[in-house]
Amino acid sequence: MTTMGTLFFDIPLDALAVRMLTTAFVVMAVSWAVGAFGPVVGGALAGLPIILGPGFYFLAAQTPTAFVAQAASYALLSLCATQFFVLAYIAMAGKQPPWVCLAYAVGAWLVAALVLQFLPAQPIVGVFMFIVATGVCRRIGRRFIVPEASTRVSAGLGLLIVRGILAGILVAVVTSAHHLLGSTGAGLLLAFPIGYTVVAVTIHQKMGAASVVAMLHSALLGTISLAGFCAVLANAIEHLTAHTALGVALVASMSITVVIIFGKRISRR
């Protein structure tokens, strides 16, 4: 029987280090981007696959192609649940303190993920469900946006580093326990919105409800780049080498992010 101690012992130190550092990076980078460029750009940047990318890199190095493809399909379904996570936080941000909002958001993700896991692990199904979830959450979430003055508040660097490392440990453990979780559990949990969790709480505490609502509403679109990464990877990994498939998926994700940012800028003009 595998014990928790054995599980931690089996996790490569380089995997732990990379995943912790990338998670810490996205937390600090997005919080800085929100303060420097505003919530629209910050929310879009939150959708870059800085966590999913390394996670699937290690999965591809340790597991068969079919496992990676199925995990990517389940990660795509998990991102549908992420949209409801974001919506729940948005809905509660103006009424409750950050940690209570986070509890509601995690609960919404759990309910959605438990339901979505029963759908077929096929990219086309995941893409369709993601489009529906994003449309519904964007429409409902728009009601909670309120006008606000431009905010330039810096979240404490030390606090962000601590939270980033803690989030990174969670990501590292989940992605390294693939042999216990299977492709379903690994895919669903790998796409759990840990980055959004830490960023949302930090911005809510430092900048207030209006800023976190605006950022998260923008992040609903930013998550499209994560969905694009998972969808492309799930298809490409069956036909290309693992590294090539990851590269193609990353380029697709970055392209989507660029389109979102420039589209937002053009629409505001």
Would you state the pLDDT for residue 118? 92
If we measure between CA atoms, which residue out of 226, 241, 166, 246 comes closest to residue 43?
Answer: 226
pLDDT of 106 over the 50 cut: yes
Give the pLDDT of residue 121.
87
Kindly tell me if the per-residue pLDDT of 79 is higher than 70: yes
First and final CA of the chain: distance in angstroms? Answer: 61
Angle at 261 between CA 260 and CA 267, to 5 degrees: 85
pLDDT in tens, 136-169: 999 999 999 877 544 444 555 665 666 667 666 7
In this structure, what DSSP letter does residue 154 have? Answer: P
Q: Does position 1 have pLDDT exceeding 60, yes or no?
A: no
Name the residue with higher pLDDT: 9 or 95: 95
Both structure tokens of 235: 């298809």
Written as six digits, the tokens of 61 are 């190095």
Phi, psi of 71 (to 5 degrees): -65, -40
CA distance 267 to 224: 18
Residues 6+ apart with CB under 8 A from 240: 248
What is the spatial distance between Cα 203 and Cα 153, in angstroms, rounded to a whole number? 9
**How many residues are recorded in the chain?**
269
* Assigned token pair, 99: 């940690």
Poorest-pLDDT segment among 81-95, 104-118, 208-222: 208-222
- Per-residue pLDDT averaged across 51-62, rounded? 82
More confident residue, 182 or 234: 234
Task: Look up the pTM and report it.
Answer: 0.82
pLDDT in tens, 4-29: 444 444 555 665 676 667 666 766 67
DSSP code string of 12-31: -HHHHHHHHHHHHHHHHHHH
For residue 218, pLDDT beyond 90: no
Higher pLDDT, 192 or 107: 107
- pLDDT value at residue 151: 45
Which amino acid type is present at position 129? M
| Structure confidence at residue 111 as a pLDDT band (50, 70, 90) | very high
The mean pLDDT value of the chain amounts to 81
pLDDT-based confidence at residue 84 (cuts at 50, 70, 90):
very high
pLDDT score recorded for residue 149: 41
- pLDDT tens per residue, range 233-258: 999 999 999 999 999 999 999 888 88
Window from 26-40, 97-111, 226-240 with minimum mean pLDDT? 26-40
